[in-house]
A and B are shown apart, each in its own frame.
Chain A
């Protein structure tokens, strides 16, 4: 019994310690942003733009597809079922709360974590294994400024951009679904706009910010935590994406609990 408790306590302590290290790493990256020189900023922005191109631009198709199908299926079914009991006005709440506010940020973050989180962790782990991180430090370049900060900024910008795409496509797919079920466009948009409150917009924006930070920081942390063995690279990528997904779900649950 004591052994089991000790084992459990040891695991919990290790996880808490890792959480602390992650938080320190994240704050370190933010502090590094305040110490960037003008020349360093120009280089970091260039890398950040490349990150946005990969994380956001290349994922627009996937996010559009997922958002369109999800919204179309949910709203089609809901229109039919709610129509039977004369409660089609609830479609607005369904679109705003369930899809735009809850599923939109969650699915977008999962897409970004799955695609770019893995890539960030693998890339930084490779940088570490090949001695590039050490070479950067030796050149007087802070790896947090050169490697982490642009990826964090890129993840944040990408999360916002993809979330806007997701929500726009979801609303339009909802319109297509309700049209096929006999609801006029005017009525549909009227219901959606009536259901939309400022609080929904702020919550969505805050979620994009929180998830963007998770997707930028967690994979960078795991990527740079490897030592010198190439076999650590896939392990780092796998740990990074799993931890990021767990973090996203926990954070989402926290938003619901506090909201």
Chain B
């Protein structure tokens, strides 16, 4: 997925990382390690100083505009700080990618949104605006939005910060989307500073990104 990627700033070593399908892989690092940039690289939102980031063997950032946008619907993304639209309710935030990017009828979309909200336990508070919801509810809504298209690849940035280990564990299970013969139904790429120890048994590979831009396997 990441080929000879060189992060800006202090980084002096390019790194490569492949994320096997159906695996959950986490890259952790301090704020100044550049770990926060990896999600944006994977989705082609930003370009690395050197090297390239591929998703489904495609350099998303190199695709022309409309193709790039269409491609991103295949990848779920939970940005750091949730990225929910403040002028929409939690329900409308979850429905937005479906309303904008799917050809489904309004009734089908409403049905799908109801299923998603129930799955993330937000059915009762779906009418709240993000500013009226607590951090846990906002994170749940952001996850529901990220998996709205039922993507096979999910990129999660600091998904568990500020959550209890129980809630974090529940959200990770939802993100994995159940089990298949090969492992989790979805491939998950997590970036952040730390990950709750309770979750480590559900993460196949954990790496730590150093300030110099080197990727080292985390010893658990």
Which residue numbers of A lie inside 8 Å of B, CB to CB?
Answer: 35, 37-40, 42-43, 123, 126-127, 130-132, 134-142, 146
What distance in Å separates the Cβ of B20 from its nearest Cβ neighbour in chain A?
Answer: 23
Cβ of B99 < 8 Å from any Cβ of A?
A: yes
- B45 and A140 contact, CB distance less than 8 A: no
Q: Is B69 touching A141 in the complex (CB atoms < 8 A)?
A: yes
> In the complex, A127→B97 CA distance in Å?
17
**Are B99 and A139 in contact, CB atoms less than 8 angstroms apart?**
no
Q: How far is the CB of A45 from chain B (nearest CB, A)?
A: 12
In the complex, how many residue pairs between chain A and chain B have their CB atoms under 8 Å apart?
75
- Say if the beta carbon of B73 comes within 8 Å of chain A: yes
Decide if B84 touches A135 in the complex (CB within 8 Å).
yes
Which chain B residues (62-81) contact chain A, with CB distance < 8 Å?
65-66, 69-73, 77, 79-81
Question: Separation in Å of the A141 CB from the closest CB of chain B?
Answer: 5
Does B72 contact A138, Cβ atoms closer than 8 Å?
Answer: yes
Provide the bound-state CA to CA distance between A130 and B103, in Å.
Answer: 29
Leading 8 A-B pairs by shortest Cβ distance? A135-B83, A140-B73, A138-B77, A140-B72, A139-B97, A140-B69, A131-B83, A141-B100
Closest to B40 in A: A134
When chains A and B are docked, how far (Å) is the Cα of A135 from the Cα of B97? 10
Give the size range of B's interface with the partner.
20 to 34
Residues of B within 8 A of A (CB): 40, 43, 45, 65-66, 69-73, 77, 79-81, 83-87, 96-97, 99-104, 145
CA distance A123 to B85 in the complex (A): 11
The answer to whether A137 and B72 touch across the interface, beta carbons within 8 angstroms, is yes
Given contacts A138-B83, A139-B97, A140-B69, is CB(A39)–CB(B102) below 8 Å? yes
Say whether, besides A137-B45, A140-B72, A35 and B100 are in contact (CB < 8 Å): no
Q: A140, B70: Cβ atoms under 8 Å? A: yes
Cα–Cα distance between A138 and B80 once the two chains are bound (Å): 12
Known: A35-B66, A132-B86. A138 touches B45 (CB 8 A): yes
Please report the C-alpha to C-alpha distance between residue A79 and residue B206 in the assembled complex, in whole angstroms: 84
A139 to B142, CA, bound (A): 11
**Max count, chain A CB within 10 A of own CB: residue among B71, B84, B85:** B85
Alpha-carbon distance A35/B71, docked complex (angstroms): 15
Shortest C-beta distance, A198 to chain B (Å), equals 41
Could you tell me if B103 and A132 are in contact, using CB atoms closer than 8 angstroms? Answer: no
- Most central of A134, A138, A141, A146 by chain B CB within 10 Å: A138
* Closest chain B CB from A233 CB (angstroms): 13
When A130-B86, A132-B85, A132-B86 are in contact, do A139 and B73 touch as well, CB less than 8 Å? yes
Task: Give Cα distance in the complex from A42 to B96, angstroms.
Answer: 12
CB-CB < 8 A to B66: which residues of A?
Answer: 35
Complex Cα spacing A40 to B98, Å: 10
Question: Complex formed: what's the CA distance from A140 to B76 in Å?
Answer: 10
CA separation between A233 and B139, bound complex, in Å?
Answer: 26
